[in-house]
Amino acid sequence: MAQTVALIDRFVREWQEVGLSQWVVRDASGALLGLAGVVPRERWWNLGYRFTPSAWGRGLATDVSLEAITLARELRPDLPVITRSLANNPASGRVAERAGLRLAWRGPSTDGPERLVHADRDLDPDVLAALVELG
């Protein structure tokens, strides 16, 4: 419970300080489908999407990602938009690519599993190194 409260507090703070963070995605009945959006980091926007399995395959992650990328570019066009995913989750990589990001790196992470980094532009080597270190 404490982790959830801390996460929500962080999202609220990002909305207040930066003007952009995660959105809660619901269907027409109000049922929670997931979270998606971009969160600011020091040197990049981190795009993320996490949906309940019943929402998969509807294009929701792509739709929200496209909107989030547009707003991130308006707020801080100097920062790249990136997303990191596990290589064994090809659907996540396809969402990134449908949202206009391209594969910037693929390889083992510091914690073992193979990871993908997608970005909206070529990344500075120090930014890419920082992303790879995150695991």
Residue 7, in any domain of the structure:
no
Residue 9 lies in a domain: no
Task: Name the average pLDDT for the chain.
Answer: 92
Q: pLDDT at position 36, please? A: 94
What tens digit of pLDDT does each residue of 101-117 get?
Answer: 999 999 987 777 899 99
Residue 15 lies in a domain: no
Q: How many CB atoms lie within 10 A of CB 6?
A: 10
Asked if 19 contacts 39 with a C-beta cutoff of 8 angstroms, the reply is: no
pLDDT number for residue 11: 86
Buried b (16+ CB within 10 A) or exposed e, 42-55: eebbbbbbebeeeb
pTM: 0.89
| pLDDT tens digits, one per residue of 21-80 | 999 999 999 999 999 999 988 899 999 999 999 999 999 999 999 999 999 999 999 999
Of 3-7, 37-41, 128-132, which range is least confident? 3-7
The count of structural domains within the chain is 1
Q: Note the pLDDT of residue 107.
A: 92
Domain hosting 95: range is 22-133
Question: Scanning the structure block, which residue is given the tokens 């929200």?
Answer: 64
Domain containing 33 — which CATH number?
3.40.630.30
Q: What is the largest CA-CA distance in the chain?
A: 45
Provide the pLDDT for residue 135. Answer: 64
